[in-house]
């Protein structure tokens, strides 16, 4: 089965990026969305959402791209459909299938009218059992057909980061392919080999194993991040301690690796926190002891308050504090579960006057922090009255900060650097530089001596 025509159901950040990426690799792609503005943007050669290089790629490959509001049109004129709709967390911490059920109902009705074999691929993140037991019955009921002989079904989540979705989609570490049967898996693997720029391997397995693998990857990564943050605190308590030196050594061990081992601040965003919570929910439902996941989530959510408590001896009472970086990661406008936003709230509750800055995320953070902090997209404005500056992300404007920018005519200022990216500032006597994860106290040595001194 040689496939040339594909369809994408859902034109959000991932769906629109997949559409552009597949078209760039020579496939004809039909995008589907319930939002007419998104459909019109695609058909006009514009990006429907903000994402790096998305608009340029859609414009460059416009002859192979079109969009529609009609699922039937997309299914009839393609051989495989990728479903990328929201699966938001519900009050239990599980992933809701509300939008996926709606999409699968429409897809089933479209399959009923189609005489050729067609593969449905769920890309949205779901929990184990959801594809087979929550969504497949809808396809069969609406189409009157049987999965296997009449149509195919796969679960195929992506491992991407906002801000680099297209690059990550075209150059993954591997493709995770959960298949109902070999026929549907063969069709999807063909697409992956066609799309991949780096000849990424395809790991095929059952639907349920793929569902477990997807959410386990993110949960494991969050535990690695939390371990690195704990390690950073250890290093602050040991004379000469430096978390980067220690992490570089740990990363040399092939069992561990260096990625996500840079201690500094907590994890956030639309995936990591909720995936951790959702896997713990599944553990509770299945009788699996998943306390490790809950402990990790509790540890991460408590980081901002612990940092405020730790920094209070260095922060004058009622000080003006500038928090630089409100998105959950650099070069992003997303503030969902953002450590920077949580830090602003914790500082405000502790009695400090807080100004938050982020060039991209300011409009969104302003609403989230309206009772806790002033928010600006002007860096000079954020620094003007600051007694203390906390650098929470490594956006380029922060890395280029000079003593003159920070001081603004003041005789002294304190800079707390969560990622140790501004070390040259320590050479300026007017700047009290406090790098997270590095020991800066001369009193620490006495604690160690007391611990090991002979009785």
Is 177:192 a contact under the CB 8 Å cutoff? yes
Residue that wins the pLDDT comparison between 239 and 10: 10
**pLDDT value, residue 212:** 97
Residue 205 included in any domain: no
Whether 224 maps to a domain, the answer reads no
Q: What is the pLDDT of residues 159-209, one digit of tens each?
A: 998 889 999 999 999 999 999 999 999 999 999 999 999 999 999 999 999
CA atoms in the 13 A half-sphere facing the CB of 382: 27
Identify whether 332 is part of a domain.
Answer: yes
pLDDT for residue 1 is more than 80:
no
State residue 196's pLDDT score.
96
Q: What pLDDT does 315 receive?
A: 86
Q: Which two tokens stand for residue 342?
A: 């949580």
Phi, psi angles (nearest 5°) of residue 435: -85, 130
Question: What are the tens digits of pLDDT across the range 270-308?
Answer: 899 999 999 999 999 999 999 999 999 999 999 999 999
What number is the average pLDDT over the span 236-251?
A: 95
The answer to whether position 271 is within a domain reads yes
What number of helices (H) and strands (E) belong to the chain?
Answer: 19, 14
152 in the same domain as 57: yes
* Beta bridge mates, 323: 356, 390
% of the chain beyond a pLDDT of 70: 98
Nearest to 159 by CA among 209, 210, 102, 194: 210
Q: How many residues does the chain have?
A: 455
Catalytic residues: 271
With a cut of 70, say whether residue 455 has pLDDT above it. Answer: no
Q: Which residues make beta-bridge pairs with 415?
A: 389, 433
Q: Taking 60 as the threshold, does the pLDDT of residue 343 lie above it?
A: yes
How many whole angstroms separate alpha carbon 283 and alpha carbon 290? 5
Say whether both 18 and 163 belong to one domain: yes
Collapsing DSSP to helix, strand or coil, 29 comes out as strand
181 and 316 share one domain = no
Q: Which helix (H) or strand (E) holds 286?
A: helix 272-286
Q: What separation in angstroms does the CA of 27 have from each of 2, 19, 20, 111? A: 11, 9, 10, 21
Per-residue pLDDT tens digits for 402-424: 999 999 999 999 999 999 999 99
Mean pLDDT on 311-326: 92
What tokens were used for 216? 């386990």
Specify the residue for token string 């700047």. Answer: 431
Residue 449 has pLDDT above 90, yes or no: no
Percent share of the chain, pLDDT over 90: 92
Would you state the pLDDT for residue 109? 98
Whether residue 218 is contained in a domain is answered as: no
DSSP class of 439:
-
Number of domains into which the chain is organized: 2
**Position 277 in a domain:** yes
Tokens of 147: 């999965």
- Pick the last residue of a domain from 138, 173, 200: 200
Q: What is the pLDDT of residue 273?
A: 93
Residues 108, 51, single domain; the answer is: yes
66 and 163, same domain (yes or no): yes
Question: Do residues 123 and 178 share a domain?
Answer: yes
| Complete DSSP assignment for 379-429 | HHHHHTT-SEEEE-S--HHHHT--HHHHHTT-S-EEEEETT---GGGGG-T
Residue 61: count other Cβ atoms within 10 Å of its Cβ: 21
- Cα separation, 98 vs 160, in Å, equals 23
pLDDT value at 77 more than 90: yes
For the whole model, what pTM was predicted?
A: 0.90
pLDDT of residue 49: 94
Q: Are residues 194 and 104 in the same domain?
A: yes
Of 136, 171, 200, the residue at which a domain comes to its end is 200
Average pLDDT on 135-152 reads 98
Within-domain flag for 221: no
SS3 81: strand
Does residue 252 fall inside a structural domain?
yes
- The CATH number of the domain where 66 resides is what? 3.40.50.720
**Count of other CB atoms within 10 angstroms of residue 91:** 6
Q: Is the pLDDT of residue 431 over 60?
A: yes
Q: Which of 142, 176, 200 is the last residue of a domain?
A: 200
Residue 18 has pLDDT above 90, yes or no: yes
- Both 16 and 91 in one domain: the answer is yes
Return d(Cα 30, Cα 211) in angstroms, integer: 26
Quick check: 3 and 191 in contact, CB under 8 A?
yes
- What is the structure's pLDDT at 441? 77
Average pLDDT over residues 40-55: 95
Judgement on whether residues 245 and 133 belong to the same structural domain of the protein: no
Q: Does residue 193 share a domain with residue 245? A: no
Q: Are residues 255 and 106 in the same domain?
A: no
For residue 448, name the pLDDT band (cuts at 50, 70, 90): confident
Determine the Cα–Cα distance for residues 186 and 254; give it in Å rounded to an integer: 32
DSSP string, 346-373: HHHHTT-EEEEE-TTTHHHHHHHTTTT-
Mean pLDDT of the chain: 95
DSSP per position, 95-156: BP-HHHHHHHHHHHHHHHT--S-EEEEE-S---TTIIIIIIHHHHHHHH---BTTTEEEEE-
Q: In which domain, by residue range, is 111 found?
A: 5-200
- CA angle 135/136/141 to nearest 5° reads 105
Given a cut of 90, whether residue 443 has pLDDT beyond it is no
Distance CA 367, CA 199 (A): 43
- Tell me: do 190 and 262 sit in the same domain: no
């Amino acid at each position: 089965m040689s496939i040339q025509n594909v369809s994408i159901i859902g034109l959000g950040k991932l769906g629109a990026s997949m559409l552009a990426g597949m078209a760039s690799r020579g496939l004809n792609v039909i995008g589907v969305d319930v939002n007419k503005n998104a459909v019109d943007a695609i058909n006009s050669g514009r990006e429907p959402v903000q994402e790096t290089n998305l608009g340029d790629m859609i414009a460059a490959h416009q002859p192979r791209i079109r969009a529609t509001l009609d699922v039937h049109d997309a299914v009839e004129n393609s051989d495989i459909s990728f479903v990328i709709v929201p699966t938001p967390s519900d009050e239990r911490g599980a992933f809701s299938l509300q939008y996926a059920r709606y999409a699968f109902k429409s897809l089933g009705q479209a399959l009923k009218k189609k005489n050729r074999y067609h593969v449905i691929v769920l890309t949205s993140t779901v929990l184990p059992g959801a594809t087979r037991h929550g969504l497949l019955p809808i396809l069969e009921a609406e189409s009157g057909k049987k999965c296997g002989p009449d149509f195919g079904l796969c679960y195929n989540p992506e491992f991407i980061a906002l801000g680099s979705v297209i690059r990550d989609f075209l150059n993954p570490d591997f493709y995770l392919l959960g298949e109902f049967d070999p026929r549907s898996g063969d069709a999807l693997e063909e697409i992956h080999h066609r799309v991949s720029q780096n000849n990424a391997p395809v790991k095929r397995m059952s639907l349920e194993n793929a569902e477990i693998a997807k959410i386990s990857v993110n949960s494991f990564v969050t535990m690695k991040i939390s371990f690195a943050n704990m390690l950073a605190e250890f290093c602050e308590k040991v004379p000469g301690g430096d978390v980067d030196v220690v992490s570089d050594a740990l990363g040399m061990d092939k069992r561990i690796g260096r990625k996500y081992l840079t201690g500094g601040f907590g994890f956030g965003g639309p995936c990591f926190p909720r995936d951790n919570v959702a896997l713990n929910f599944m553990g509770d439902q299945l009788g699996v002891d998943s306390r490790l996941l809950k402990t990790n989530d509790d540890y991460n959510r408590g980081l901002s308050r612990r940092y405020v408590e730790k920094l209070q001896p260095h922060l004058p009472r009622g000080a003006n504090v500038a928090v630089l970086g409100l998105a959950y990661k650099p070069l992003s406008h997303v503030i969902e579960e953002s450590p920077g936003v949580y830090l602003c709230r914790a500082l405000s509750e502790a009695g400090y006057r807080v100004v938050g800055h982020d060039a991209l995320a300011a409009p969104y953070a302003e609403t989230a922090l309206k009772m806790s902090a002033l928010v600006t997209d002007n860096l000079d404005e954020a620094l003007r009255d600051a007694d203390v500056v906390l650098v929470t992300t490594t956006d380029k404007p922060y890395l280029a900060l000079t003593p003159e920018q920070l001081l603004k005519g003041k005789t002294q200022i304190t800079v707390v650097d969560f990622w140790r990216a501004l070390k040259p500032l320590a050479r300026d006597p007017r700047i009290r530089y406090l790098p997270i994860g590095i020991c800066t106290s001369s009193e620490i040595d006495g604690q160690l001596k007391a611990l090991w001194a002979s009785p």
